Amino acid sequence: MPPSVTPPQRRRRFLLEARDLEPSWSRTLIALLLGLDLFDDAADEKDVVDAGSVPDVPPPPAGHARVWKLKDCTSAAVECASIHDFLNALAHDGLEVPCTHAYKHRRVTPVVHVPDAERLPLQTLSPSLEMQLAPLPTPELERRLAAAERRDTSEEGDARDAKRAKTRGDSGNEKASDRCKITRHLRLCRELASSMRFERPTRNIDGVRLDAKGETYAGKLLDALRAFDGWPEDSKKRKGVGAAAYAVIKRKDVDKIIAREGTSPETTAAVGNKVVELFRLAQATLNVACGVKTNEGDEQIPFDAVAVTRAFRGSPHVDARDTSHQYVLALGDFSEGGALCVEEVAEEKNVRPEDPGDARDTGDAGDGDPGGDGAGRGKKTRDGERRAPPRRFVPTGHVLRVNVKNRVARIDGRHVHWVDGWSGERFSVVFFCTRKENAAEMQATAAHEEWMAAKQREKKS
């Protein structure tokens, strides 16, 4: 053994266990699901091992992982090269696999004690560019790659691809893994992120600042969130996003509670129902932030439900069931981040009726809207009238980063969005619509940005 190589029994190991896997998933895919490439060489004598008997072999290269499937076929032992790769893999815990391919969720737990990981909580990490791209449909990833003219045919590119093939091989089973849709999707994410040099332009703006009355309501809301003990257990909270606690309060459920208690909206809080109290305080805070002249109990800003979370981290995702834009507010004693990030999109003018559009067309049945029929693309309806072609939205390649600490942002959750890393105590309150009666057409990101700017001007005047 060369003197520069640390003997396996003396070196520090970064071991993880990936759980809730499909038995058919290859080791290549398992590594990709954790944001890493598979490293496979002669030191890996076994593909399948018993739990607790992971071979003691040299570490993988940076950005790669060794993967051993465990005999239960639904979990795997994973060794990372460094604390950076270790934390990056842990950051994928609980997220969808990926968002466009069903609702299977990654579960990732550390096998060994790593003090450095405890000093850097996962919520301080911002999602990598690959994680930001994962919620996009596979055709959209292909479209972006084509637009970037990612066609490297140079000798240097061929040599790099050959080297990559050696490190990401899967025991000669690469052809089988190439047929896996999830594997292909994640490789497209990796290739697109690489073509973007793993970063992209970001603009920073502020959400709508709360005035004195809004801060009063927000303070009461924060106290109610801190005291709230009705968080659903892990098995019942929303899957596919990372949060210490996640609860959804639906307007129809609040109405039922009020009807059952036999109280008026003005006296509901006195009954001690914390769910109703949270909902009404959240609604009052939003009304004031939006400049609505109303009493606390009146409904002015349309929304069907409020999602409240504690310690929401990362989790790039798309809210495909939304029927309108959403409003977001963050509260708590947090710092160094916690901004709401959303992919910027612009409306493409003069879309041809025969143009099939992309995943951002309104009326796209792929997003769960049953209205994605031919009439939406400019064809004639049954009464002989020709409908206008759909509005189409295309990415600008930029990210809009909105400061939502004690501020209200308006975004469209039907586009990819996530939360930047942060430290401290952070609660988020999200107002959204899923019912048709509150539906609103998609708009370009600039329209929501202008709404926030207009509300700011109103408060200054």
Phi first, then psi: what are they for 333, rounded to 5°? -95, 75
pLDDT mean across residues, the chain = 80
User: Phi/psi of residue 232, each to 5°?
Assistant: -65, 150
**429 with 279: CB under 8 angstroms?**
no
pLDDT (tens digit per residue) in 118-131: 666 788 889 999 99
What pLDDT does 94 receive? Answer: 86
In which band, very low, low, confident or very high, does the pLDDT at 262 lie, cut at 50, 70 and 90? low
- pLDDT grade for 202, boundaries at 50, 70 and 90: very high
Q: Averaged over 180-200, what is the pLDDT?
A: 92
- Is the pLDDT reported for residue 265 higher than 70? no
Mean pLDDT of 298-322: 87
Two structure tokens written together for 330 = 């963050």
Residue 368 has pLDDT above 50, yes or no: no
User: 460: part of which helix (H) or strand (E)?
Assistant: helix 445-460
Per the structure block, which two tokens stand in for 169? 């091989």
What are the structure tokens assigned to 400, written together?
């809009």
Cα–Cα distances (Å) from 384 to 126, 370, 391, in that order, read 51, 21, 21
Tokens at residue 237, please?
């909270």
CATH 3.30.70.330 boundaries in the chain? 14-195
Residue 149 has pLDDT above 70, yes or no: no
pLDDT at 263: 54
- Check residue 8 and give its pLDDT: 46
In the structure encoding, which two tokens stand for residue 189, read together? 């994410």
Q: Which CATH superfamily is domain 14-195 in?
A: RRM (RNA recognition motif) domain (3.30.70.330)
pLDDT of residue 258: 83
Query: Average pLDDT of 57-77?
Result: 92
pLDDT at 398 over 90: yes
330 touches 428 (CB < 8 A): yes
**184/175 Cα distance (integer angstroms):** 11
| Percent of the chain's residues with pLDDT above 70 | 75
How far, in Å, CA of 225 to CA of 237, rounded? 16
How many whole angstroms separate alpha carbon 260 and alpha carbon 190? 53
Assigned token pair, 110: 């550390």
Where, residue-wise, is CATH 2.60.120 in the chain?
A: 203-345+392-460
Confidence band, pLDDT 50/70/90 cuts, at residue 53? confident
Across 322-328, average pLDDT:
97
What are the φ/ψ torsions at residue 327 (nearest 5 degrees)?
A: -115, 140
- CATH fold for domain 203-345+392-460: Jelly Rolls (2.60.120)
Kindly give the residue spans of alpha helices, DSSP state H, lying in 53-180. Answer: 83-90, 115-119, 129-133, 138-147, 155-167, 174-178
- Using CA atoms in the order 15, 20, 26, 30, what is the torsion angle rounded to 10 degrees? -40
- Residue range 284-294, pLDDT digits in tens: 999 999 987 65
Whether residue 414 has pLDDT greater than 90? yes
The predicted pLDDT at position 164 comes to: 45
pLDDT of residue 446: 96
Asked if 310 contacts 235 with a C-beta cutoff of 8 angstroms, the reply is no
Top-ranked range on mean pLDDT: pick from 262-276, 338-352, 405-419: 405-419
Total Cβ atoms within 10 A of residue 302: 14
* pLDDT surpasses 80 at 231: yes
Which amino acid is present at 177?
Answer: S
Q: Is the pLDDT of residue 273 over 90?
A: no
pLDDT of 106 above 60: yes
